[in-house]
Each structure stands twice: as structure tokens, then as C-alpha cells.
Amino acid sequence: MAKKIKLDIEGMHCASCSKIVTSELEKIGARNVSVNPVSGKSFAEVDDSVSFEQIGKAVKDAGFKLIGFSEGSASGAPSSFKPSNEINTWKTKLISVWGLTSLIVAIMYSEYLIGAPLVPIKWMIPLMLVLSFPIIFIFGFSTIKSGARGFVRLQFTMDSLIALGTVVAYSTGILSYFIDVTSFAGVSGMIMTIFITGKFIEAKAKGRATSEIRKLLELGAKKALVLRGKKEIEIDISEVKIGDVMIVKPGEKIPTDGVVVKGESAVDESMITGESLAVEKMRGGKVIGATINQDGVLYIKATKIGSDTFLSHIVKLVEEAQGTKVPIQKLADKVTGVFVPVILVLALLTFLGWYLIFDVSLSIALSNAIAVLVIACPCALGLAVPISLMVGSGMGAKRGILIRKGEAIQTMKEVKTVVFDKTGTITKGEPEVVEVSTKNEKKLFEIAGSLEKLSEHPLARAVVKKAGLKKYLSVKKFKVIRGKGLEGVIGGKKYIVGNEALMKDKRIALGSYAKVVKGFAEKGFSVMVVVENKVVLGAMGIADAVKEDSREAVARLNRGGFRTVMITGDNEVTARAIAREVGIKEVIAGVMPGDKAKEVIRLQKSGMVAFVGDGVNDAVALKEANVGIAMGGGSDIAIEAGDIVLAKGNLTGVVEAIKLSNATFRKIKQNLFWAFFYNVVAIPLAVAGFLNPVVAEIAMALSSITVVTNANLLRFSFNS
């Protein structure tokens, strides 16, 4: 019988890494293997006969480290991820190698910097060998080992390139004692230092991915108050059993999924469903774990626990979306498998050609071959993408656009459809009084504000805020009518504030306000009618108001030729009313969190999709979309799931993010062109013997400077 497994693997960083892991897992019978080298997650199916030890050995044989493991179906428990110390490891290496590299640079270029060498010439090479040795063979040992493994397997990675360049360059220092060849021992240390710097940045990105899952798990309640016999006992959430009756007081999280057996209250489910308004719960009503009870005591019978809960399912969906979504590989990674053997062969042919055919000295032949290897070292190629992303992300940060994942830059230019969540994205995420119909607005809000001040319902808070009373009227015989409204006596007169259903119960004729109430309902508003002694004083329409810039943002996208779509868990009437207001023509309403991702996948059949959202319920869709854009004012989970984060929470940021992404990607393409152009031009010159190793080193440095300079020109091109 087959079982699904999820692996957390440390040390992967390119497409070749995933191929190696896939190959080793398939050797032990794994099927449907999916490996994400960026997140470090792998999903696969294996027979029950395959042991954990076999899986661990397969990962180890691939050259990586297994740091997390779980098995089960998609609805199973989220893996207990073991935090990696990868970030701290690379940070330690980074500090160490830059300390040593600073000394190398000071010694090598002291004559140019201060006019005199810091050490005697005879000590120069030994010092370079001593200082570069720990950089390459201690702090860079994992890279050298990985590179060597690539040569053995004939599966070349960026590690193979770095290992080749550094070891050959370092070896020239030793060879210089035996033959007439220039030492590049110092340069070898510099190459490894640049590489380790990149690995540190990569490790930090992976660390953010792991924290996302931990934050999701932290949403759940840690303790539960349960009835055991006639006693109320507080227990750990892990000890809750199906059938336990939990007591949840106002303001507390509901421990796990269940059904209400006693009590009435409003429950805030916005973190799960995206619906801004609290949902009234009474006996028989189903509740979701981690949602928040607002104003009444609820007795809830646990129906689902552990891995079967709604929250656990969401966690699993995010994990799978994160682990199976393979990011677009950089061009540099795609060509390494060809680039390295070509350079090896080319260097060998250069040596043999000069030594055997042109009959030059061994030193000259070796010098030319080394020049080929040195100048082919992919420093510019390695800088081309990250330096562009650095500049682009820095510019974005100033504008409140946070680019979390570089692949979004490349993908954004292909996006044809922009999909929006409603609550908290297009709208403000909290109810407001948006329309009022009355002959005496002052009196209406004086009465309604004084009554609603005694209620904790979200709609009540909207009325109180709109009323803005400095002094409230005295209310007697106050009574809450669950799910419908409230009543009370002010100045000897009986007042009622509630919905249309309450008016019917109280047999209150709406009269001339009947059309007003109907119109409010058609717009998707929550309606509150204010009554004095059975005479209607007026009506209020309450809704989740549209953000000020939503219309402008959608209009700009429509003019730009983008297809705009809104997906929401809200009802059809409210959803279409909001869509009409902002200019969105396509609406998909009544969608639950898992289905949001499915709708995104469906829309992807027509082209690349960007999804814009802010809630926990949007996390899976944000991951599944080609580009996930999270609102900065939303949940931490949504922010972590997003490829791009709009810190200001304004929808116009979506338009600016698209503009910035396109500008940044243009620079990436230009830099990659210059990096390859440099190799195309310089390598033949080295082969032809026109470049000695020293000149080759300078050329390599200049190529890097060119790439950095071009990336910084982005600041001017984007502003223009």
C-alpha cells in the first residue's frame, strides 16, 4: 500500500539539486516525486515497505540533509518541522570569510592603496595560500564537496563551477613554486567569499518559508476549558477528545472544530472565511477552531481534533502549495550543466593546443589554460540576478512594495489576469454606516448610538463610531434580541433598533421606508431600522466600505488590458454590488478557502494569474497563483505566503508592483546578456592567448562592476 510523505531537506539551491534528490528517491521506489529546491520541501509516494531509514539514506546519498519528515494524506497532520540552523551556519561563515578576505585585499593591493607593500614580495604567495585555505577548504568545504560530487555524477551545479574556479586558482599558488606560473591563490579566496555571501541570502529566504508554517500553527488555541463530569478543567489542546464539551468565554479562541450545544454568541470567523461580519451562533451551529467568540458564553461539543480540524487542513494545503510549486529557474542555473564541461574541455584544449601545436613553454600553455578557467568563473553571472533584485526591492520598499520572492519578477510580466479577494483587499475589512435615510439624522444617531453603545456586536460598533456622541442617553430595560437587534427605553419611550426580520416579528410597518430597506438589501448592505413607539425614524445601510483607491487601481488595470476578477466567501448579492462599484465585471462568490485555490488553478488555464489577498483564508490561493500579492495590513500568514507584499495596503500598489516588476526584470535580462556577452567575447581572447591570467582577473572584476552599475541605472529608468 502506498503512503504520501513530505520531506524537509536542507542544502538545495538549484534545479540540478532537485534532479539529484528525485533520482535518489526514485531508486528506493518513490513515485510522483516533487522537489522544490528553494523551499526545501519534497512530496512523494512510497510503498509501506519503504522505511524512514531508507528515505534518510537516499537524501544523504544525494548530498543533502533530511531535517523534517511526515507521512499521511493531504488531510493529515502538518509535519512537526525541525527549525534549521542553516541561517546561523552561513552567517558564521560569512563573517569569517569576509574578515580573511579583507586581509587578502589589503595585502594584494597595498602597493596601489598606500604606495608600499605591506609584506615582502617573498611572503606574498605563502600568505595568500594561508589566508585562502580556511576560506575554501574549511568554510567552503561543503561547496567543494558538492562540486566534486557533481563531477563524479556528471550532474553539474553552481557548486561545481565555484569549486572548479577556486581550487584551480588556489592550486596555481602551489604550482608557482615548481613552475613559472602566476599565483591566483588570493583570487580563489575572493571567489568563495562572494559565493558564501549569496548562500547566506538564500538561507534567510528559506527561513522565512519555514516560519510561515509555524505562524499558521500558532493561530490555534493552546488551552481548552472542558467539562469533565460536573467540573470545569483547563487542559492542553492536545488532550481534547471528540465529544468533550468546551466552555468558551467572550474574547477567547474556540479550541477546535465543534457544534454549539448551549449558549448564543457572535463569532468572528474573518481569519478563516474572510467574512468581515461576525456570524451569529446558537444551539446546533457549527464552529471552527481558532475563530474568536465575541460576546456570549458558548458550550461547544468537539467534533474534530488534531489533524482533522479546518485549521490543520489549511496548514496542510499551504505546505503542499509551498512544497510542490517549483519556482522559475534562473537562466544561470539552466546553463551550468553545459557551461562547466564546455569550459573544462576548452581549458584542456587550450593547454594542449598551445603546448603541443604552437610549441610554447609549459608555463605559457598552463597560463593560457588558467586564464580560460579564471575568466570563465561566473561571478558576473552570479551577480546579474541578485543585484538587480536588490536595487529593485530597495526601490520598491521606499514605495511600500516589498518583493519577497525574486521569481515573481520574472513571472509578473506574463500575468494576464489579476484576481482580488474582497474583504480587507478591495474593502476596508470592517463594517461602516455607508448610507442613511431619515428626516432627523441627529435624533436617529442619538437614539441608535446610545442603544448600540451597550452592545458588543460589530454592527453596533459601526453605528457608535458613525454617531460620534460625546454624551450618551440613559437607557432602561435594555435587551438584546439575538441575531436581530436590540430594544430599550429612553425618556419613557420604547425604541427598537434591528433588521427587517425583527420588524416583522414586532409587526412594525416600514411604510415609506420599505423601498429604502429593499434598496439597501439589493446593494448588499446590512440594514438597521430605528423605531420609536412603533414609528420608523429611519434606516441605516451598513457595509464593508470600499477602500478609497480601489476604483482607481481597478480602472488602471482594466486600461492596461488585464482581466480583473473578484473571489470572495461573501454572498452573491454583496459581492456583485462591490464589484459594480469598483469596476470588476467577473465575480466568483460564496467560495471557501480551499476552493479559492481551485478557482485560481482554473483561471490559470487562460494564462498567468496574480492573486491579491490579505487573510489566512487567502494563503493557499496566494501560494497557488503564479504571483501572490499580499496586503500589508492583512494577516501575517498571508504576508508570508505572498511573493510581493503591499506594505501600505493600497490597491494602487498592485499597479505599481507590476510596473516595478517589469522594470526590474528588464534589468535582469540586460545583466544576464552582459554576463554572457562578457564570456562570449573574453573566453575566445583567453583561448587565443591575448589575455594572461592577471588581465583575465581584471576583466572578470570589470564584468561584475558593469553588472552592478547597470542594475543601479534601474533607479533612473523606473522614475522616468
Indicate which residues carry an active-site annotation: 421
Query: Do residues 262 and 298 lie in contact, with contact meaning Cβ atoms separated by under 8 Å?
Result: yes
Query: Do residues 25 and 55 lie in contact, with contact meaning Cβ atoms separated by under 8 Å?
Result: yes
CB atoms inside a 10 Å sphere around CB 80: 10
E strand or H helix at 451: helix 441-452
Q: Which residues are CB-neighbours of 218 under 8 A, at least 6 positions away?
A: none
Distances (CA, A) of 413 to 661, 662, 665: 7, 6, 8
**CA 698/CA 716 separation, integer angstroms:** 28
Distances (CA, A) of 150 to 143, 155, 329: 10, 5, 19
Chain position carrying cell 510542490:
324
User: What 8-state DSSP symbol labels residue 438?
Assistant: E
Query: Do residues 567 and 621 lie in contact, with contact meaning Cβ atoms separated by under 8 Å?
Result: yes
Chain position carrying cell 473571489:
567
If you write DSSP's letter for every residue of 594-624 in order, what string do you get?
Answer: HHHHHHHHHHGGGSEEEEEE-SGGGHHHHHH
Phi-psi region of 477 (alpha: psi -120 to 50; beta: other; left: phi over 0): left
CB atoms inside a 10 Å sphere around CB 140: 28
User: What 8-state DSSP symbol labels residue 646?
Assistant: E
At residue 277, φ and ψ (nearest 5 deg) are -85, 140
Q: Which residues are CB-neighbours of 391 under 8 A, at least 6 positions away?
A: 664, 667, 711, 712, 714, 715
**Between the CA atoms of 284, 287, 292 and 298, what dihedral angle is there, to the nearest 10 degrees?**
30
Strand partners, 532: 495, 535
Please name which of 606, 645, 648, 600 lies closest in space to residue 624, comparing C-alpha atoms: 600
* 307-312 long-range Cβ contacts below 8 angstroms, 24+ apart: 307/72, 307/75, 307/76, 307/77, 307/78, 308/75, 308/257, 309/220, 309/256, 309/257, 310/257, 310/272, 311/216, 311/219, 311/220, 311/272, 312/75, 312/77, 312/78
Query: Do residues 155 and 20 lie in contact, with contact meaning Cβ atoms separated by under 8 Å?
Result: yes
Cα 658–chain centre separation: 17
**CA 253/CA 250 separation, integer angstroms:** 9
**CA 498/CA 463 separation, integer angstroms:** 12
If you write DSSP's letter for every residue of 241-293 in order, what string do you get?
Answer: -TTPEEEE-TTPBP-SSEEEEE--EEEE-HHHH--SS-EEE-TT-EE-TT-EE
**CA 426/CA 279 separation, integer angstroms:** 21
